[in-house]
Amino acid sequence: MKNSTKLVRLAAVAAASALVLAACGGGDDDKSSSDDKTSAAPAAKGDGTLTVGTLLPSTGDLAFLGPPEFAGVDLAVKDINEAGGVLGKPVAQSKADSGDGTPKIAPGSVDKLLAAKSDVIVGAASSSVSLSVIDKIIGAGVVQFSPANTSTAFDEYDDKGLYFRTAPSDVLQGAVLGNLVLQDGAKNVAILARQEAYGEALAENTKKTIEEQGGKVAETVLYAVDATSYTSEIQKIKDSGADAIIVIAFNETTKIIPGLEQAGIGPKQVPTYFVDGNTADYSKDFPKGTLQGVKATYPGAQLKDDFKARMLEIDPKLTDFTYGPESYDATILSALAAEAAKDDSGKSIASKIVEVSREGEKCTTFKDCVALLKDGQDIDYDGVSGPVDMNDSGSPSKATIGIFEYAADNTFKNTDYITGVVE
């Protein structure tokens, strides 16, 4: 996929002013036919039953994201089937663990999902895990639809028109995070990040925004994803003399924070910032007050109470809802695309996903949207995670980034939402 990401516009949801930033992405406006996601549907080749596979984390460093993501898919399938299913038949499911953070698990899980005749695979959460299996998935003619991939690596990936995501590229989160740090008064920032697709891309885009807005990134330190000690990396951060630290990490945050504290540059000493990969409930991991004042960003619109209640009906044990709405929307969009194409094969679905997400009659539920399709109307599905207007390369062209702050109990609450348009 090739995506020309030229401009990011940011605005606080509650504010009247807007901030316009230049942003980097793919620089190629010339899309080959294999990248065209708005073409006519191919001849019907499906088996008549839409099968949704889930490649989501039950284990691994992102396991905390698994429950809301699985619940989002399950709720979408429930809504679809209660509305009559897809092409007159109930949607089928097949589930597998992506083991995000440990790419060795995902390939075998993909084999299981393909053997179950999945037409769409929702996942993975981790960008690096998705990159490790994308060729296998698209090579089978199956749609890969991630609710949480944010790496800019997908902006230019040759995905044969079969990869989509409901989470925005890190061009947007990097712009929001970089501006947040500067608005808080930092002038000399250090970034500690995972050395893989997600960590490197988000670090690069955050650095770009900071420097374009007049700040300085004193040091960008990357660490191996399988590292067990972070002593040398933390020493580099300390030696930089930074007045703010951005930690782009997964569950290893539970080891990094004590290391920063031991070096005398913990959150109590230096303003610290997290991202979507490590914005989690740490109430059982750290003593009270450890993270108080830490700020964080992650993609996602404000979760409405009624949708939260519906997710809890699916999984009453949910305490975190991150990327649940995006998982729901990925599933609904796939089902609507199958209806629009009148076929459940992966290539047919891929040909209609962009079309059903924008520039038509607005609708917000599968039931209402499919009724419009059956009446011969073009539709514009607005989802629970936001408008989900897809650009021609299969990523949201408009999205929301939430800003959060940690309290003394090491849990986080929202303080603001920033909308962004990638042009």
How far apart are the C-alpha atoms of 169 and 26, rounded to whole Å?
A: 11
Instruction: Please determine, for residue 4, whether its predicted confidence score (pLDDT) is greater than 50.
Output: no
Mean pLDDT of 52-73: 95
Distance of CA 110 to the CA centre of its chain: 19
Q: 9-18, 208-217, 366-375, 403-412 — which is least confidently predicted? A: 9-18
Query: What letter does residue 341 receive in the DSSP assignment?
Result: H
User: Which residue is listed with tokens 């980097």?
Assistant: 24
For the chain, what percent of residues have pLDDT higher than 90?
Answer: 79
Residue 3: the pLDDT is 43
Comparing CA positions, the residue from 234, 212, 215 lying closest to residue 223 is 234
3-state secondary structure of 193: strand
Identify the bridge partners of residue 244 per DSSP, sorted by sequence position. 189
Query: What letter does residue 23 receive in the DSSP assignment?
Result: -
Instruction: Please determine, for residue 25, whether its predicted confidence score (pLDDT) is greater than 50.
Output: no
Compute the mean pLDDT over every residue in the chain, rounded to the nearest whole number: 90
Q: Work out the pLDDT band at 53, boundaries 50, 70, 90.
A: very high
Peptide bond into 124 cis (omega under 30): yes
Mean pLDDT of 358-371: 97
Residue 100: the pLDDT is 79
Query: What letter does residue 155 receive in the DSSP assignment?
Result: G
How far apart are the C-alpha atoms of 227 and 250, rounded to whole Å?
A: 12
Mean pLDDT of 398-403: 90
Tell me if 179 sits within 8 A of 246, measured CB to CB: no
Instruction: Please determine, for residue 103, whether its predicted confidence score (pLDDT) is greater than 80.
Output: no
Residue 319: the pLDDT is 87
Q: 13-22, 129-138, 186-195 — which is least confidently predicted? A: 13-22
Distances (CA, A) of 14 to 11, 196, 389, 417: 8, 35, 21, 8
Question: How many CB atoms are closer than 10 A to CB 234?
Answer: 22
How far apart are the C-alpha atoms of 226 and 39, rounded to whole Å?
A: 42
* Polymer length in residues for the chain: 423
The gap between the terminal CA atoms of the chain, to the nearest Å, is 16
Q: Work out the pLDDT band at 38, boundaries 50, 70, 90.
A: low
Residue 393: the pLDDT is 85
Q: Work out the pLDDT band at 362, boundaries 50, 70, 90.
A: very high
Task: Give tens-digit pLDDT for 162-190.
Answer: 999 999 889 999 999 999 999 999 999 99
Q: Work out the pLDDT band at 101, boundaries 50, 70, 90.
A: low
Identify the bridge partners of residue 169 per DSSP, sorted by sequence position. none
DSSP string, 387-421: ---B-TTSSBSEEEEEEEEE-TTS-EEEEEEEEEE
Domains and CATH numbers, the chain: 40-167+304-390 (3.40.50.2300), 171-299+401-422 (3.40.50.2300)
Mean pLDDT of 272-291: 96
Task: Give tens-digit pLDDT for 403-412.
Answer: 999 999 999 9
Instruction: Please determine, for residue 17, whether its predicted confidence score (pLDDT) is greater than 50.
Output: no
Tell me if 417 sits within 8 A of 372, measured CB to CB: no
Q: pTM of this prediction?
A: 0.83
Comparing CA positions, the residue from 272, 259, 267 lying closest to residue 230 is 259
How far apart are the C-alpha atoms of 331 and 52, rounded to whole Å?
A: 8
Query: What letter does residue 105 receive in the DSSP assignment?
Result: S
Torsion sign over Cα 167, 199, 290, 62: positive
Task: Give tens-digit pLDDT for 303-324.
Answer: 889 999 999 999 999 988 989 9
Identify the bridge partners of residue 379 per DSSP, sorted by sequence position. 361
Tell me if 173 sits within 8 A of 152, measured CB to CB: no
Instruction: Please determine, for residue 329, whether its predicted confidence score (pLDDT) is greater than 90.
Output: yes
| Residue 98 CB burial class (10 angstroms; 0-12, 13-18, ≥19) | buried
Comparing CA positions, the residue from 5, 11, 7 lying closest to residue 400 is 11
Instruction: Please determine, for residue 37, whether its predicted confidence score (pLDDT) is greater than 80.
Output: no
Distances (CA, A) of 151 to 107, 180, 204, 358: 20, 20, 11, 23
Instruction: Please determine, for residue 34, whether its predicted confidence score (pLDDT) is greater than 50.
Output: no
Task: Give tens-digit pLDDT for 116-127.
Answer: 999 999 999 999
Mean pLDDT of 14-24: 36
Q: Which helix (H) or strand (E) holds 376?
A: none
Tell me if 334 sits within 8 A of 120, measured CB to CB: yes
With DSSP H G I counted as helix, E B as strand and the rest as coil, what are the percentages for the chain, rounded to 5? Answer: 35, 20, 45
